[in-house]
Structure 1
């Protein structure tokens, strides 16, 4: 796979980084309590993990951060247009909605949580505040020591991560696509053309669809070939297309159990952006 020219605003993953990723394929809510003041270096012990929902059944969206004194830290709200999100799968946790996707392996021992030093994709970040937030959250992740999941009556569960400096994150759970669609998705790579094309959709006048083609990679990350271009008659969950940008996306594709008559039987969910290039 050829890396984009250095003058482009975003840089592609290196072959080694992509190969590693291919190999690995596999405001505070009302119910939360204010953070209790803690001594520096102390750790708040959460309840036993026996009754906790599985972390892998949800994607976890950040809703609150607090420092070691229990004071709310709201800087992340101004830095990130979308709330940072954690995803747990196949023994790895990944941090999304920043400049890059940060991934780390993890182990659970009861309510204790151990994470290794994270690795990151290598996209350039044009926003200084977002870049600073990414660095801060990446550094903090390796200091996670325990977790708890609170079951909210009539609402989504809340994940609370505790860190070795007594700071904490609170994250709201949303069922993963695997949970929603009743099983694992199929891993596919699609290249998205820089511009949408006119397409025929009975209920949408003047519809414009993403123009895509399948991309095939070897296990070592080298591109093997591409398919034919075609209009995609559905949107990709988690992906916002910017006109003039060519992207290669790693996606999970799910089959709907009961699709509406005017809808695609397939659901595409963004896993990560593999390549980006601005086309003049």
Structure 2
């Protein structure tokens, strides 16, 4: 029984863009911080830095200094902003939300937000979508900061709300390139890895899949084989067969006993419960 399916034409859509050039954001300081400076990488523009990180919300206060609790309903899945060349996407809300944007003179100009229309079964998640949509509209002040080598993003609305985000490097940033997109089918059950140094370890059983521009299966699937490494961001559930869209990155100077490539989950395209 298939219980989750995403449209493959959407899964096949291009995911990477070339960042636009803008002026670097100015530096600021905050009380209690030893030194807060403009985001490092002198040759990088503000938009380039935006696209190099996943920006996870860590604080939000209104104009009176009160925490905006509606934005923190899932502590284990913080609200996240992802930027491409001309679009920002909101991650970990109830619906998938996004908008066009550009940066000019320290202001983030945000276009109309588009959103899927899934019903949010938890009222707090519906309120989360509304709360972030209200604050990502029109023009907001934007500052790129660095504290203890950790990039920070600060957005300030005209009403005085301040949203603070911590940057987590994207896979492209960590591995130094765009990577190669591939589709892997993961079998419902794992298999023994047969690794002498790791007796008893179980490996994912995978094969490569291919799809045409319409999202229909094409060509012949690859051979099933154990994958002697993890897929970043993916957790396998026994009894569930998945088709994954992944990004495959070459690893510079891998250890002698380590893999030369890394697999990073991009999207779960299809899941199916397999009867025993």
TM-score, normalized by length of structure 1? 0.74
Task: Name the Cα RMSD after superposition.
Answer: 3.4
**CA offset digits 1:128-169 (Å, max 9, x no partner):** 6445534543564345623111121x3301101233543232
Q: Mind listing any 5+ residue stretches in structure 2 that lack a counterpart?
A: 18-28, 33-37
Q: How does 1:207-218 map to 2 (within 5 A)?
A: 207-218=201-212
2:231 is the counterpart of 1:236: yes
Change in Cα spacing, 1:149 to 1:25, as seen in structure 2 (3 Å) is closer
- Given that residues 102 and 119 in structure 1 are in contact (C-alpha distance below 8 angstroms), is that contact kept between their aligned partners in structure 2? yes
CA distance in 1 between counterparts of 2:95 and 2:191 reads 28
Change in Cα spacing, 1:207 to 1:147, as seen in structure 2 (3 Å) is same
Which of 173, 194, 198 is the equivalent residue of 2:192? 198
Say how many residue pairs are matched. Answer: 253
2:162 is the counterpart of 1:158: no
Change in Cα spacing, 1:211 to 1:140, as seen in structure 2 (3 Å) is farther
Q: How does 1:96-111 map to 2 (within 5 A)?
A: 96-98=91-93, 101-111=96-106
* 2:61 aligned partner: 66
Q: How does 1:28-177 map to 2 (within 5 A)?
A: 52=46, 54-98=49-93, 101-119=96-114, 129-130=124-125, 132-134=127-129, 136-138=131-133, 140-143=135-138, 145-152=140-147, 154-177=148-171
CA distance in 2 between counterparts of 1:195 and 1:122 reads 34
Which of 181, 184, 192 is the equivalent residue of 1:187? 181
Change in Cα spacing, 1:118 to 1:220, as seen in structure 2 (3 Å) is farther
Q: Secondary structure at the match of 2:255?
A: coil
Change in Cα spacing, 1:205 to 1:227, as seen in structure 2 (3 Å) is same
CA distance in 2 between counterparts of 1:124 and 1:228 reads 40
CA distance in 2 between counterparts of 1:231 and 1:199 reads 7
Change in Cα spacing, 1:245 to 1:142, as seen in structure 2 (3 Å) is farther
Q: Mind listing any 5+ residue stretches in structure 1 that lack a counterpart?
A: 35-46
CA distance in 2 between counterparts of 1:174 and 1:184 reads 16
- Given that residues 13 and 122 in structure 1 are in contact (C-alpha distance below 8 angstroms), is that contact kept between their aligned partners in structure 2? no
* 2:271 aligned partner: 276
Higher-Rg structure is: 2
CA distance in 1 between counterparts of 2:87 and 2:186 reads 27
Could you tell me how far 1:185 is from its partner in structure 2? Answer: 0.9
Q: Secondary structure at the match of 1:217?
A: coil
TM-score, normalized by length of structure 2? 0.75
CA distance in 2 between counterparts of 1:277 and 1:121 reads 23
CA distance in 1 between counterparts of 2:116 and 2:242 reads 15
Q: Secondary structure at the match of 1:157?
A: strand
Q: Secondary structure at the match of 1:79?
A: coil
CA distance in 2 between counterparts of 1:214 and 1:66 reads 47
Could you tell me how far 1:88 is from its partner in structure 2? Answer: 2.0
